Amino acid sequence: MLKRLFGELLGGARRPAPAPAEPAIDSGLAELLTRATAAQSRDELEQAAVALRGGMAERPRAAVLPALLAEALQRLGRDREALDAYRRTLELDPSQAESRFNYAAALARLGETDAARREYERICGERPGWAPPRVNLGLLELAAGNVGGAVARLREAVAADPDMVEARINLALALKEAGLLEAAARECEAALAVRPDNTAALKNLVASCLQLGDVDRARAVIAALAALAPSDGASIAGALALPAVLDSNDEIARVRRELAAALERLAGRPLAVADPLNDVGVTTFYLAYHGQDDRALHEKVAALHLRACPSLAYVAPHCAAPRRRGGDERLRIGFVSRHLHDHSIGNVTRGLVAMLDKARFAVHIFAPRPAFDANSRDMASHAEEWVVLEHDLARARASIARHELDVLFYPDIGMDPFTYFLTFARLAPVQCTTWGHPVTTGVPAMDYYLSTDYFEPGNGAAHYSERLELLRDVAFPGYYYRPALPAPAARAALGFETDAHAYFCPQALFKFHPDFDAILARILRADAHGRIYLVADRDDFRRTRLAARLERALGMLMDRLVFLPRAERREGYLQRLQAADVVLDTLHYCGGNTSLEAISAGSLVVTLPGATMRGRHTYGFYRKMRFTETVAATPDEYVARAVAIATDAGLRARLQAEQAAHADALYEDRGAVAQIETFFERAAARR
């Protein structure tokens, strides 16, 4: 359902009547303009171009002729020729802002983004009240990964023209990329106030609501959209919409029953979805936070998508007829994710990309954006190439297929609709995923799930539709650079009370399972001087829902639970970890990247292993470290250990020293990379 305008530059600004600088319109020129304009309106673009070129030869000073020619050439997809025509127009009449705007759009489409920016900036200076060039500047910033710059430019566009729907929708996209989901929803609603039938605004409003986990609002918008344009995609999206924060285990059970029932109903209907990325555009991301085995539901969801859209099961030519490899040819390994930047997925993937033996493996990276920050640029420097994928499944599949990969590795599947729907295709003989989103995909084309013996419970293989591949005696499947720590900061500057014991739980709010509420209440009852600190979302919706649930569980203790604002910089977040007396791990879906950061900062993380891999990451780290003093076996033990560490400074110092002596086992482990390399070679040989 999520038609993304991201990257779709505005263009086609119409040129007004000829300016006074042009020669007088004689009858011959008027007749030529009439014929050329009529031909363009009938889409007879080649004829119009021929006539206009003839007119330019006769009247070389008439700026209107190359302007019209450029428009015809752009519509023919001949941007390079159109550039020359626009240049001629602007040589004759530099004041033509519409022609300059279209010239800039053609430059951007041809990849000459710096030149396009200069042209847009010039127009903004000359016409401060014109919104379209500001929209396109915002889109260029968004494509380059400068989300803050994109938001600023698009806000300028909205200020210039509050009724410009395209400006509002693209600002909503930029705000969503910045994690400001409620602000994004407000922009979509403002666009709909101008154009109630605008499907792009409706689809992007659905996207923001689904990401927030505001299911009731999302389904209401889906219903409005279905009334305008009924589709099976909307029906599937409504069925798969899941709330982010649930009130109780009873509500979890109800939501899962309703999802299963909806899947059964849809399984009995004929379905046709041409473009699941844009017509459905939702994953079951929040299902993983219920603390249960999701395999059966994920398999049913995948089967539903394949039945509704059989083209998802595309097979790349080199997979249908495997190519013969030379004995000394390197294996071609592809990494695909939209999160290969300063993100938890980028953090846990960056080292693996760097450390793979380049004498044996040729690494190709596929992402929806260019390398734009320190993480992504580092990965790009260790790869053969960084390929920017279009937000279009067919084009993205073709782009990956052209590289004839041996192994395609998805660091995360299920966090993002784009990569999720890509996984249905057979784009390499071997396709695998791992713990970035730590739950099975249910997708038949996904061959392997890469995990570790420290993560998995005894029945772990039963949780996966993929073949479970276990690395042995490693902390996790990857190579993690130990974070550089800032100088410690005073507690008061970090939001912690100076005379209270600080229990810090820095996890995303949707990780807070209802089973965790009673543990938080028991900690506060056991420690009268304790304060529990959570990190607020950028938006209020999930915090408000969780706070209401916690208030029912904690009662009067709620005044000792504090939602801290997000740290503005990474250093502030790490300083909070350093200053906390103890870090609390969430139940059923625990910390991964967060726990690696906390242990590096010297924090003691109290954890209670769950029944599935996603509740056992921190436990796995401590097993690898041969240090399990903060691992609890029961909720009672969790509370006792957390309170003992927070209230006993001597115990805390001793355990921190022991943890520090073992922590090196987690970071920069070349042994984990060696096992992954062996797995890649063995899996490729099986094919």
Residues in the chain: 687
Alpha-carbon distances of 423 from 374, 404, 412, 429, 433, rounded to whole Å: 27, 16, 11, 13, 10
Could you read off the pLDDT of 92-143 as tens digits, one per residue? Answer: 888 888 888 888 888 888 888 999 999 999 999 999 899 999 999 999 999 8
Q: What is the DSSP string of 459-510?
A: TGGGG-SSEEEEESS-SSSS--PPPPPPPP--HHHHT--TTSEEEEE-S-GG
Q: Is residue 135 one of the residues assigned to a domain?
A: no
* pLDDT exceeds 60 at position 14: no
What is the C-alpha separation between 465 and 511, in angstroms, rounded?
24
State whether 498 and 464 are in the same domain.
no
- Do 513 and 646 lie in one domain? The reply is yes
Same domain, 407 and 513: no
pLDDT band per the 50, 70, 90 thresholds, residue 686: confident
Q: Which of 252, 283, 313 is the last residue of a domain?
A: 313
Please report, for the domain that includes residue 615, its CATH number. 3.40.50.2000
Verify that 567 and 647 share a domain, yes or no. Answer: yes
Say yes or no to pLDDT of 72 above 90: no
pLDDT at 46 over 90: no
Which range of residues forms the domain containing residue 330?
317-481+672-686
Do residue 510 and residue 574 come from a single domain?
A: yes
Q: Residue 45: what pLDDT?
A: 79
What pLDDT score was predicted for residue 466?
98
Say whether pLDDT at 226 is over 90. no
Which of 290, 313, 336 is the last residue in one of the domains? 313
pLDDT the model gives residue 326: 66
Query: Domain for residue 371, yes or no?
Result: yes
pLDDT value, residue 308: 97
pLDDT of residue 539: 87
* Residue 645 domain-assigned (yes or no): yes
Question: Does residue 548 share a domain with residue 442?
Answer: no
**Domain CATH for 473:** 3.40.50.11380
CA distance 276 to 144: 26
Is the pLDDT confidence value at 90 over 90?
no
pLDDT above 80 (res 166): yes
Residues contacting 148, CB < 8 A, separation 6+: 178
**Nearest to 74, CA basis, from 32, 110, 42, 39:** 110
Question: What is the rounded distance in angstroms from the CA atom of residue 667 to the CA atom of residue 675?
Answer: 15
Q: Are residues 351 and 411 in the same domain?
A: yes
Is the separation of the CB atoms in 165 and 198 below 8 Å? yes
Percent residues over pLDDT 90 in the chain:
76
Distance CA 366, CA 370 (A): 9
Is residue 364 a part of any domain in this protein? yes
For residue 317, pLDDT beyond 70: yes
Structure-block tokens of residue 66: 């190359």
Closest to 442 in 3D by CA, of 423, 455, 422, 469: 423
506 in a domain, yes or no? yes
- Spatial distance between the Cα atoms of 207 and 2, rounded to a whole number of angstroms: 6
pLDDT at residue 171 tops 70: yes
pLDDT in tens, 235-266: 999 999 999 999 999 999 999 999 999 999 99
In the predicted structure, residue 375 carries a pLDDT above the cut 50: yes
pLDDT tens-digit readout, 629-685: 999 999 999 999 999 999 999 999 999 999 999 999 999 999 999 999 999 999 999
Q: Within a domain: residue 198?
A: no
Q: Is 398 in the same domain as 440?
A: yes
Residue 581 placed within a domain: yes
User: 514 lies in a domain?
Assistant: yes
pLDDT the model gives residue 10: 64
CA atoms within 13 A on the CB side of 76: 19
Q: How far apart are CA 251 and CA 219, in angstroms?
A: 18
The residue ranking higher by pLDDT, 73 or 518, is 518
Buried/exposed code over 339-363 (b: 16+ C-beta within 10 A; e: otherwise): bbbebbbbbbbbbbbbbbeeeebbb
How many Å apart are CA 112 and CA 107, to the nearest integer?
5
What mean pLDDT comes out for the span 75-81? 81
Backbone angles phi, psi at 581, to 5 degrees: -75, -35
What's the structural domain count of the chain? Answer: 3
Same-domain check for residues 373 and 421: yes
Residue 224 has pLDDT above 80, yes or no: yes
Residues 614 and 648 in one domain: yes
**pLDDT one-digit tens code per residue, 421-434:** 999 999 999 999 99
pLDDT confidence band for 175 (50 / 70 / 90): very high
Categorize the per-residue pLDDT at 82 as very low, low, confident or very high, splitting at 50, 70 and 90: confident
CB-CB contact of 601 with 659 (8 Å):
no
Residue where the block lists tokens 């299963």:
260
- More confident call, 91 vs 372: 372
Strands 331-336, 407-410: pairing is parallel
Residue ending a domain, choose from 313, 341, 371: 313
Q: How far is CA 81 from CA 49, 53, 114, in A?
A: 11, 12, 19
pLDDT at 607: 98
Sign of the torsion formed by the C-alpha atoms of 549, 551, 555 and 558: positive
More confident residue, 500 or 227: 500
Q: How far apart are CA 50 and CA 63, in angstroms?
A: 16
Q: Are residues 275 and 407 in the same domain?
A: no
User: CA-CA distance, 556 to 559, in Å (whole number)?
Assistant: 7
Q: Using CA of residue 60, residue 132, residue 204, residue 415, what is the dihedral sign?
A: positive
Of 408 and 328, the one with more pLDDT: 408
Specify whether 619 is located in the same domain as 677. Answer: no
Instruction: Answer yes or no: is pLDDT of 7 > 50.
Output: no
